[in-house]
Structure 1
Amino acid sequence: MIPFNKPFLIGNELEYIKESVSSGKISGNGNFTKKCQSYFELNLGVKKTLLTTSCTDALEMSAMLVDIKPGDEVIVPSYTFVSSALAFVRQGAKIVFADSRIDHPGIDEDLLEDLITPRTKAVVVVHYAGVACDMDKIMELSKRYNFYVIEDAAQAIDSYYKGKPLGTIGHLGTFSFHETKNIICGEGGLLTINDDRFVDRAEILWEKGTNRSAFFKGEVNKYGWVDTGSSFLPSELIAAFLFAQLENLKMIQKKRKEIWQAYFEGLKELEENKNLKLGIIPEYATNNAHMFYVITKNQLERDELISFLKNKGIHSVFHYLCLHKSEYYKKISEPKELVNAQKYDQCLLRLPFFYELSNEEVKFITNSIKTFYGE
């Protein structure tokens, strides 16, 4: 079986974990945490970054930082992972779900303005497959209507919008290093802070509501409980693994882009023949080769393709189920129709994609899909 995903080692992951243990400190905010955060601050050009145990934690910190309260509205795309909405629901927000674009699973920027009300506190934009949303349109609306923009860049490391790294354009950004992402450490995340107002408080939330970070920097002579927060810091073991991957980011990305291109070359004929559709990359965006997906004509065809590939020893998967149709959301609000999001829910199929996927395996997968449509 060719798996959908496979974790990998590429450099000094195990050596750095050993080094961390030998140092006598494996709890959070140690040497490797600082190395990772410095790397991101330098390469992303943001004011402050904080490693977290997951992208979900980074989103929860974002909800706290923009001071979401009961009655506030937060606009979120329906076609996304539950964390994009859950982090704000936990603070009491009412979620207003947005549809996807007709040509891409990302949020439809042109429909956003109709969803904004005087209670809109934030908009969460998800850069699906690492492909940028039109951030100029979104930030212009943010200025006009005075709401915060949180970039859910879970899939978007090393991806850009008009030359600017994703996760650095909105007020706050969040990344994931889950084992299915380009850069991995099992579970892990990052909060990027692009607004000075949030820097000091973010460190307090990160350190369980204490001013412990200020104490270690010598800014106060003792620390205590000063705000809300949680234990959002990852272990040094996670940070050590992550830093080894960051050292090899260029190599990882080069290989992933080669895999993506091989898929594209192998399947573009099927798109030309209108058997299926491939993902698009708008001219303002870059491709970080986070995933490769195809869009079938309908759900039955997708399910049959999944079964066909499974019989060939290939593990392919569908992706998100629309949040506005979820059991939880139906308990608290009347579901509405979001035509494009529902199309991706029913027709989008992700193909195996991981660093060690070979050219021969990609060719076998693409030929198997051609066989399916030939039959």
Structure 2
Amino acid sequence: MGIPFNKPFLTGDETEYIKKAVESGKISGNGEYTKKCQHFFRERYGFKKCLLTNSCTDALEMTAILANIGEGDEVIMPSYTFVSTANAFVLHGAKIRFIDSREDHPGMDEDKIEEVINEKTKAIVVVHYAGVACDMKKIMHIAEKHNLLVIEDAAQAIDSYFTFSDGTKKPLGSIGHLGCFSFHETKNIISGEGGMLVINEDQFIERSEIIWEKGTNRSAFFRGEVDKYGWVDVGSSFLPSEITAAFLYAQLENLENIQNRRCQIWHQYESGLKRWGESMDIRMPHIPEYATNNAHMFYLVCKNIDHRDKLIYQLKEQGVHAVFHYLSLHKSEFYKDKHDGRHLPWSDRYSDCLVRLPFYYEMEEDVVVDTLTQTLL
């Protein structure tokens, strides 16, 4: 038996669409498949403006430029996140104010945000861990009160929603001023590498296109809005090739099927492991009442690091590849001397105790459940 942590799922149309893109004679960015993908997201989720990127990292870096982040500015974000969330802003000279995780969920503790806001704060970067929403109503209220930009790192959050008190649901990535998504091969919808920037405020739309097109007004030129294009702002080569976009479009056409299967796996994990977890003092994922579950991952929170490492080892011995996740960024080799010294115990707890179970479309989740329930810790 051998169950990897992840296995990319192919719908069957990826190579056909890539072939069509190649035969079209245009495989650089912003062609037919790029436009199809961006139209899909606008139509399905109501995003105001979408720009495909080479990665979620690229999308985050674009937000740093759009936010005019510079030396001396401060940006608030969780410590329990991937390094790209912070790098995008550190590259422009920002100081990061890290926020602890919640006790009931690895996402950032919204109640800790205001205590680090000062006159240098420019933005709050929200990370929807495991595709589960942070309390966006609370965060947007804080941002409005202090005149701050909100950037949603929705890398894991495709097809996930926040529910407001009146019952209205809004897709993650559409609530903050800017949103960023990932289509890395470990995500629900994939293109190998790949990402997307979502622009929800009119004030950022024109400049986002310029930044996306290497600092030129090339997009406006191709729409016939200017008679020539040139260098008008900073930017970089953020847009992906048509080969990436063609692969992604095949995935998007099968979004419902992929999501249904992932939700089935998630719920089978939950029902199959609930009693075992309680007996082992292992915590299952928590979904707040205002959040939906897009079945991005299924994780366990063990008692301590030794407990976690033993579980990973025992599963590996049985051919099941489970993995830990982030290491607290405030304790990283790069940033530990730059951190302001606050103790962030819950971020550290998840760094030490969280383990992710294998999760992919074609997996045999019952085998993992059986292996775990027979594991002696």
Residue by residue over 1:46-105, the C-alpha shift from the partner in whole angstroms, topping out at 9 and shown as x without a partner, is 210000000000000000001111111000100000011110001111100000000000
Residue by residue over 1:148-191, the C-alpha shift from the partner in whole angstroms, topping out at 9 and shown as x without a partner, is 00000000000000110000000000000000000000000000
1:297 and 2:295 aligned? no
Secondary structure of 2:59's aligned partner: helix
- In structure 2, do the counterparts of structure 1 residues 312 and 42 end up closer, same or farther at CA, with 3 Å as the change threshold? same
Counting only pairs closer than 5 Å after superposition, residues 222-371 of structure 1 correspond to structure 2 as 222-273=228-279, 275-358=281-364, 362-371=365-374
The residue type equivalent to 1:209 in the other structure is G
The aligned residue for residue 139 of structure 1 is 140
Which of 177, 180, 189 does residue 186 from structure 2 map onto? 180
1:219 and 2:222 aligned? no
- In structure 2, do the counterparts of structure 1 residues 43 and 53 end up closer, same or farther at CA, with 3 Å as the change threshold? same
The aligned residue for residue 36 of structure 1 is 37
Instruction: Return the offset for 1:331.
Output: 4.0
Alignment check: 8 A CA contact 2:97 2:339 kept: no
Alignment check: 8 A CA contact 1:324 1:336 kept: no
The residue type equivalent to 1:322 in the other structure is S
Instruction: Return the offset for 1:42.
Output: 1.2
Aligned residues: 371
* Separation (CA, whole Å) in 2 of partners of 1:330 and 1:277: 29
Q: Percent identity?
A: 63
* Separation (CA, whole Å) in 1 of partners of 2:304 and 2:339: 27
The aligned residue for residue 95 of structure 1 is 96
1:209 and 2:212 aligned? no
Instruction: Return the offset for 1:333.
Output: 3.7
Instruction: Return the offset for 1:330.
Output: 2.1
Instruction: Return the offset for 1:334.
Output: 5.0
Alignment check: 8 A CA contact 1:41 1:49 kept: yes
* Separation (CA, whole Å) in 2 of partners of 1:213 and 1:192: 17
RMSD of equivalent CA atoms: 1.0
* Separation (CA, whole Å) in 2 of partners of 1:132 and 1:48: 21
* Separation (CA, whole Å) in 1 of partners of 2:12 and 2:123: 39
The aligned residue for residue 162 of structure 2 is 161
Q: TM-score, normalised by structure 1?
A: 0.97
Q: TM-score, normalised by structure 2?
A: 0.97
Runs (4+) off by over 4 Å: none
Alignment check: 8 A CA contact 2:304 2:352 kept: yes
Residue by residue over 1:224-277, the C-alpha shift from the partner in whole angstroms, topping out at 9 and shown as x without a partner, is 000000000000000000000000000000000000011111100023335200
Secondary structure of 2:368's aligned partner: helix
* Separation (CA, whole Å) in 1 of partners of 2:47 and 2:181: 14
Alignment check: 8 A CA contact 1:11 1:248 kept: no
Instruction: Return the offset for 1:335.
Output: 4.3
The residue type equivalent to 1:261 in the other structure is H
